[in-house]
Amino acid sequence: MTHSVRFTPAATQEVEAAFAWYERLRSGLGDEFVRSVAASAESLERNPERFPLSRAPFRWVKLRRFPYGLHFSVQDRTVTILACLHFRQSPSRWPGGA
């Protein structure tokens, strides 16, 4: 059974900001970043519980090739992506952070 995946407005803004940064770095790299986000979202549709807890009840999935993680929660059959954060960002910005 699959889950539905939705991004909060804040997570969408973070993905857009990272896209713009990578696109400025090299043309086409932003598109690769967005494809990595989409691939991770597809994995979450299939089995979100397989990914580790960051701070209970929140979980995270590392993006392929990029130093970012999608932080999310699962309720019923809905996965809500709360943040798309670079690994060097303060853990206090993670969902459930202090």
Q: What is the pLDDT of residues 20-64, one digit of tens each?
A: 999 999 999 999 999 999 999 999 999 999 999 887 789 999 999
- The whole-model pTM stands at 0.89
The number of angstroms, rounded, from the C-alpha of 62 to the middle of its chain's C-alpha atoms is: 7
Contact 57, 36 (CB under 8 A): no
Supply the pLDDT for residue 98: 43
Phi, psi of 87 (to 5 degrees): -60, -25
- Domains, the chain, ranges and CATH? 4-88 (3.30.2310.20)
